[in-house]
Structure 1
C-alpha cells in the first residue's frame, strides 16, 4: 500500500525537472512515460519501483502542461485573428482575460491573454465578453544575469500571450458580481487616503497603490501583507472555523460534529479567494487549506512535515507550472523554515503571563522567519531589510487581528446592506484610520534596506548552518569543522577579481543600447539605454545589475543624445555623482568625445575613432565610436552610426579593426554597409535589439552580410545578455538565452521570425 506522504514526495520529485530542463520533450515522450509508469504500477509489487512510477506519471503530467503552453503560444501568435475573450481584470488600458473562443471554436482550457487598448462602448470590467481582433504575441522578457524573469512569471501565472486590440466589440456588457462589489467599495472609499491599500487587502487589486507606499513596504519587508496569499486565506479560514464553533455553542450536543468547523473554514477561505479574483497565490493557499481539511476529516495523525509535503503535492498537481512562481517558493519556504525553526529551536516562554508569552512567541516566530528566509530573499530581492523584524512585529498583528477582520466586516456589510452607505462607510473609515497609523509607524522606522550582491547568496545559509551546529553542539565537539563550514560559505568574499582578464557585456534592455566593460571590480559604461514616463533603463536594469555583480562604475560614454542611448544617465549620475562622462558634443560637467581622443582605464586603452571635431552630420552619424583594447584583443563600439559616416570611417581601416563589433544602429538597413563589415575584420557581431520592435530590426540582409564575412551573430532579442570574456589565452562568448543549461522557460517562445 502506497503511503500518501511518501507518494507526495515522489510526485514533487517527479515534477521538479520543470525547474531545470533546457528543453521540454515532445508529447510522445510524455506518452511513453505514462505507459511505462502504468505498466510498472500494474506489474510490480516492489515499493521503490511503484513510487518511481508515480514520479514518472507526475513528470508526464507536468510535461503535458508545459508543452501545451508552448504549443498555444506557437499556434496563436504571429497572425491577426478574431477571438472571444472573457475579461478577468482590468486596469486602465491593460486588460487580463481568458480566450474562450478561437477561430470560432470554443477552448476547453482557455489560455490567459493580456490585451492593450480602450473599450469605446462602455467602461470595461471583469466578467464581460469581448469580440477582439488582434495579432497576439508570445511572452518575451529581458534576460540578464541575476535579473527578474518576466517569462518565468508569465508561465507561472498562465498569461503567456499579449496583443494590442485592433478592433473590439462588446458581446456581454454585464459585469461580474465581484466587479460590481469592487465598484461599490471604490465609491465608498474614494475619499479615503488609504483606499488603494484597502482595495489591495480586500480584492487583491494593487494597481492603484502609490510608488511611495510600495517603497515603504519593500524597505520594511512587509509587502507580503498587501498580497492576498497564505496568511490571509488562512485567516479567512480561521474566521470561518470560529464562526462555526460559535454556532455549535447554541446547538444540541447530538448535532455537533467536528466536520462542520472544517467545512465552514474551507468555505470562508473559498469566499475570500473569490474576492481576490482567484489570483494564483490565493488559489494555491485554498488548495493547501482544503488538503489540510481532508486530512483532518480523515483523522490522520501526521507530523507537520508530512502534512506540508501532501499539501505541496496537491498544489503542484493542480498546476505543475506553479513551480515557476516566486511567490510559491516564498510561501513554501516560509512554512518549511518556521517548522524547522520551531522544531530545532523550540520556544518555551513564560506561560504564567499570557501577554508576555504571546509577545515573546511572536518575536520568536518573526526572528526565525527573518533569518531562515534569507536564502530566498537575497537572490529574489537583491537586498536585506534590517527593519523587517520590528516592522513585522507591529504590522502582522495589526493587519491580522484588526485591519483584515474589519475589511471582512465591511465587505459583508456592503453585501448584506447594499442600500445602506452608513454602516460600511463607518467601517471603511476605521480601516483607513488603522492603516494611517500603521504606515505612520512604518515610515518612521530608520532606513533599513541594504542592497547586497551575489556574494551574499552563500552567506545567507549561515543561519541554517548555525542552527544545526547549535542543536548538535558541534561548536564544542568539532570547532574546526564549524570554522571550515563558515569559511566555505564566506569564500566569495575572499575571492578577488582576476586582474589579467576583462569582460564586455551587452545587456538585454529591449530597445536601446547599454554595454558594460568590466575589469578588477570596476565598470565603464557605453550608453545607458532608454527612458519612458515613470522610469528608465538605468534605474530598472543597469544599476541593479551593477549592484548584484559588485561593480563600481567609474566612467560612461554616451555615444549620442538620443533617448534610447542616454535614457538612464540621470539615474546613474544620481547614484554615482562623480562618474566621468564622455559625450559627442561639448557639455557642462562632461568631456568631449571626438576623433583622436585617448585615455587609459584599468589597463585598457580607449581610442575615439569617430567623429572628427568639426564633423557636421545627423545625430546618429555623430555617434562617438570607441575602440577598446588591451593590446591583444579589440572591441569596436559604434553607437548608431549609419552608412554615410561608415564610409568615411572605412578610409582609415587600421583604426577600426576589431575582434568584436557592436552592430551599428541596432542592425537597421541604414547601417552595416558591406565595406564597413569587411574592413572591421571582426569575428563576433553584437546587436542590441528589442523583440517586436516596430522597425523590424535587425534587418535579415544585415544579419546575412555579417555571416557572409564569417562573423558570429548575436542579438539580445534572441540571445539575451551577451558577455565576451577576454584573457591572455583568448576569448569566450556567453549568450545567456542560448546556453545549454538555460532552462526552457527562459528561451525564445513563439515562432522565430516574428521580430524581423
Structure 2
C-alpha cells in the first residue's frame, strides 16, 4: 500500500517532463515486477505511477481542444453543485451533455465553469439548459508564488471555462432531482428561517450542507486568522464527529435492547450505523473532495472492523491513503490531502497512554502537536499560520462537535417536520454563533494572530518536516535536540537578494495589464500595480503582486510608480497601499484613486539605489493626459539597462527621441502591450534592445500584441518574451550585462499546466 501510494504521489509532484519519463520508464517493468515476489513492492510502486499517468492522460484528453479555444459554441448541459451569485453575475459548473460541432473523436469536457453576466434567469442545480457560450481552455496566471488556478481547475476536473454569450438564446430544457438541488433547497430553508442573522446564518448553512456562499469575506478573514476555517468546511473532522456521535448513540441504544445484540452484535451495529451516518452527511455536503477523502478513510477502518480483522494504526493509515489515491489520483495536488493525512499521522504519533497525564493535558498537548506537525504544510501551501489556533481549537472543536454540528443538523431536520420548533432551534443556534463570531472578531483584531511565513525552498521544507517529526517524538529520542534548529530556516526564510550594483527584475503575469518589481540590494520599486477586476483587483489577488512581495519578506515598498491612470496599470494601487506601506508614490497623471501625497512624475527626476541608477525620461510637462502621460523610467546597472515606457504611443515616442542623452536599453518593456499605436521603427532603432518583454493577457479582446509589432521587433533582431505564453519573467541586470533568470510557465511547468 505504501509503495503504491508513493508511486502516485511521486508522479504528481515531479515537474514535467520528468513525470512523463518516469511513467514511460516504469510501464514495461510493471507486469514483470508484479509477478516476482521479491520485487512486488517495486512493482506496486510502478503500478502507482502507471495509474497516475493513465488518469492524467485521460484528464488531458478531456480538455477543450485548441481549435475550439475562444470560439462561440452551442452547449447543452446540466447545472451541478451550487451556483455562486453576485449582483452582476452568476457562476456555476455544468456537466455537458452535447456541444454542437464538437470533434467526435474527443471526449466531452467533464465539467465546464461558466459565468453569466447581467440580468439573467436564475439557474439552479439539476436544471438542463442550452446556451450559446464562448469557451476557453483552462488557463491561469503563472507567477513565482500564489494561487495556482490551473492546478485547482485540473484537480476539480474542470476542463473548460467560459461565459454565456446571448441571454435571449438561452433555454431551460428540463429540471431533474439531484442531491445539489436538495442542498440548495435546504440552504434556502435555513436562510429563510434565519433572515437577517448575517454571518451566523452562513456558518450554520455551511455546517449543514457545505454551502459557504453566505459567509462574508470579513468573517472568513477572522476565521482564517484564528485558524479554525477547517471547522466550517465540511471535511474529515465533521465526518468523524457525526460517525462517532451515531456510533456512541447506537451503543447506548443496543445496550438497552437485550435481545437485539444476539442477532446483530453491538460493535457491528455501531460500525454500520456510524458509517451510514457519515455517508448521509457526506451526501448532504455534496460529496466534495474533502468529504470523499474522509469517507474513504472511515470506510477502510469500518471494513476491517466488519471483517473482524485487527488492523494496526500505521497499516490503517497507509491503507486509507492507498484507497484515496486509487479513487482520486489527483488528491496530492490540493492541500486538503496533505493536511488530512498529516493531521492523522500526528495524532497517531503523539496520542499514547501515559501514566499521570490527564485527559485535559492530552488534549492540550495534541493541539500544540498538530500546530507543530502541520506547520510545514501550512508554510508550503498558504505561507501563514495562526498563533492562537491551538488555544481557539481547544474550545472550538468540542463546541462545534458536541453542539453546533449536531444541533444544526437536528434543527434543520425539525424545520421540515416541525417548522416552528426547527425555526426556534435555529434562532437559538444563530444567536450563539453570532455571539461567538463577535467575540472571535474582537480577539482577532486585538491580538492580530496571523503570521505570514516566507515561501519555503524545498530544502527548508524538508528540514522542517524532519524537525517537526523529531519534536513530536518522545523525550530522550536520539537527535531530538536538533528539532528546533531544523525548523529555523523555514520560519525565518532564506531570502536571496541581489548584490550591490545588480537589479533583479520581475515582470509579473497579471493578465491584460502591467506590474513590474525592481529589487536592488536594499530597495524595492514597484512599477504599475496591475488591473482591477470585478469584485477585486490584481494586487490583492493571490496570484500576483502582493503574494510575490510577501514571499520575498518585503514589508515596505520604497517607491511605487504608476505610469498613468489607465485601470490596467493603476487598478491595484489602493489594495497594495492598504496591505504594505510605501515610502512614496509617483504617478504619471492624476487619477481618482491616487493617494493625496502622490507626486507627479517628471523628466529629470533621478536617484540611485545600491549602485543602480534610475532616471525619469518622460513626461516633460504636467499638462499631458492619457497614454502619452506615461512615466518612462530607465533602470541601469553597470553593465545593462531596462526601459519601462508604460503605454507610450507614437507621439510620446517621438518626443522621447528628441531629447538628448542615452535612450538605449538592453531590455525593453514593450510600450502599450504591443499595440499598433506604439513601437515605431524609429523608437526600436534608438532604444536598440536585444530583449523585448510584452505584458499581456492571453486571448485578450484587444488582439494584443499586434502581429505586425512583434514582427517589427524580430526584424530588428530582438528576442520577444510574453507573459501570456511565458508567465512571469525574471531578469538580472548586472555588471556583465543581463540574463533571464526564469520564465515561469516554461521553467516550472507541471503536466497539467497549459503548454505555451
Tell me whether the two structures share a fold, i.e. TM-score over 0.5.
Answer: yes
1:374-410: CA deviation from partner (whole Å, max 9, x where unpaired): 1011232222211112211121111111000111212
Alignment of 1:238-257 (within 5 A): 238-249=244-255, 250=257, 251-257=259-265
Tell me if structure 1 keeps the 8 A contact 2:502–2:637: no
Over the residues paired in the alignment, what is the CA RMSD in angstroms?
A: 3.0
Judging changes above 3 Å, is the alpha-carbon distance between structure 1 residues 553 and 240 closer, same or farther for their aligned structure 2 residues? same
Cα distance, 1:52–1:524 mapped onto 2, change above 3 Å: same
Aligned twin of 1:505: 506
2:703 to 677, 696, 718: 696
Q: Distance in 2 between matches of 1:737 and 1:348?
A: 51
Q: 1:273 aligns with which of 263, 282, 291?
A: 282
- Contact in 1 for aligned 2:379/2:385 (Cα 8 Å): yes
What do the CA deviations read for 1:328-367 (whole angstroms, capped 9, x no partner)?
Answer: 222122222222233xxx463657xxxxx33222211111
Aligned-pair distance for 1:184? 2.3
Counterpart in the other structure of 1:325: 334
Give per-residue Cα distances to partners, 1:474-506, cap 9 Å, x unaligned: 47xxx7x78975777788569776334320111
Corresponding residue to 2:732 among 725, 739, 747? 725
Q: Which residue of 1 aligns with 2:678?
A: 671
Q: CA deviation at 1:203?
A: 1.0
User: In the alignment, which residue of structure 2 is the partner of 1:406?
Assistant: 407
Task: Output the CA distance in 1 between the equivalents of 2:25 and 2:551.
Answer: 43
Q: Deviations over 1:440-464 (max 9, x none)?
A: 3322322211223236955855443
5+ unaligned residues in a row in structure 2: which ranges?
none
Q: 2:71 aligns with which of 79, 85, 104?
A: 79
* Counterpart for residue 152 of structure 1: 151
Q: How far did residue 563 of structure 1 move? A: 1.8
**Aligned residue in 1 for 2:170:** 168
Give the corresponding residue for 1:444: 442
Which residue number corresponds to residue 334 of structure 1? Answer: 343
Could you tell me whether the CA contact under 8 Å between 1:80 and 1:134 is conserved in 2? yes
CA distance in 2, matches of 1:84, 1:119: 21
Helix, strand or coil: the match of 1:528? Answer: coil
Does residue 1:224 correspond to 2:230, yes or no? yes
Report if the CA contact (8 A) 1:502-1:518 is conserved. Answer: yes
Residue 673 of structure 1, CA deviation: 2.1
With 488-497 and 121-130 compared, the bigger mean Cα shift is at 488-497
Whole-angstrom distance in 2 between the partners of 1:287 and 1:489? 33
Partner Cα separation in structure 2 for residue 14 and residue 404 of structure 1: 34
What's the offset of the Cα at 1:56? 2.1
1-side partners of 2:47 and 2:347: how far apart?
31
In the TM superposition, 1:342-353 aligns within 5 A as 342=351, 346=352, 348=354, 350=356
Please, which of 599, 610, 617 is the counterpart of residue 607 of structure 2? 599
| Residue correspondences, number | 723
**Superimposed CA distance per residue, residues 263-313 of structure 1 (whole angstroms, 9 cap, x where no aligned partner):** 222211111111111211111111221122112222332321211111011
Distance in structure 2 (CA, Å) of the matches to 1:568 and 1:121: 29
Q: In structure 1, what is the Cα distance between the partners aligned to 2:152 and 2:419? A: 40
Structure-to-structure mapping, 1:390-429, within 5 angstroms: 390-415=391-416, 417=417, 420-429=418-427
Pairing partner for 1:608 from 604, 611, 616: 616
SS in 1 for 2:423: helix
Q: Output one character per residue of 1:103-162: Cα deviation in whole Å (capped at 9) or x when no partner.
A: 489998861111111698853211111122212112211222121111111111112321
- Written as runs of structure 1 = structure 2, the 5 A alignment for 1:8-87 is 8-23=2-17, 36-41=29-34, 44-48=35-39, 50-75=40-65, 77-87=69-79
TM-score by length of 1: 0.89
String of CA shifts for 1:551-591, please: whole Å, max 9, x gaps.
23101211111222122222333445552222224785233
Give the direction of change, closer, same or farther, for the CA distance of 1:469–1:554 in structure 2 (3 Å limit).
farther
Cα gap change, 1:545/1:703 in structure 2, threshold over 3 Å: closer, same or farther? same
Rate the CA distance shift 1:560–1:122 in 2: closer, same or farther, 3 A. Answer: closer
C-alpha distance 11-535 of structure 1, shift in aligned 2 (>3 A): closer
Counterpart of 1:638? 645
Task: Report what 1:4 is aligned to.
Answer: none
Are 2:96 and 1:99 equivalent residues in the alignment?
yes
For 1:553-564, list aligned pairs within 5 A.
Answer: 553-564=557-568
> Partners of 1:120 and 1:266 in 2: how far apart?
44
Query: What is the CA–CA distance in structure 1 between the aligned matches of 2:510 and 2:464, rounded to whole Å?
Result: 29
2-structure distance, mates of 1:169, 1:490: 55
| 1:160-185 deviations in Å (ceiling 9; x for gaps) | 32111124211113553333333323
CA distance in 1, matches of 2:654, 2:567: 25
- Alpha-carbon separation, structure 1, partners of 2:359 and 2:307: 31
Q: Does 1:236 align with 2:242?
A: yes
Rounded to whole Å, the distance in 1 between the matches of 2:193 and 2:488 is 58
5+ residue gaps, structure 1, are: 1-6, 352-356
Q: Is the 8 A contact 1:145 1:736 kept in 2?
A: no
* Pair 1:490–1:532, CA change in 2 (3 A): closer
Q: In 2, Cα distance between the equivalents of 1:226 and 1:483?
A: 32
CA displacement 1:404-435 (0-9 Å, x = unmatched): 011121233245x1xx4112112211221221
Which of 689, 710, 726 aligns to 1:682? It is: 689
State the alpha-carbon separation in 1 of the partners of residues 5 and 549 from structure 2: 39
| Cross-structure match for 2:369 | 368
- Which residue in the other structure is 1:550 paired with? 553
Partner of 1:207: 213
Taking structure 2 as the reference length, the TM-score comes to 0.89
CA distance in 2, matches of 1:54, 1:381: 32
Tell me the SS of whatever aligns to 1:136.
strand
Structure-2 change in CA distance of 1:600 and 1:21 (3 Å): closer
CA contact 2:207–2:232 (8 Å) conserved in 1: yes
Find the counterpart in structure 1 of residue 125 from structure 2: 126
Does the CA contact (< 8 Å) of 2:246 and 2:274 recur in 1? yes
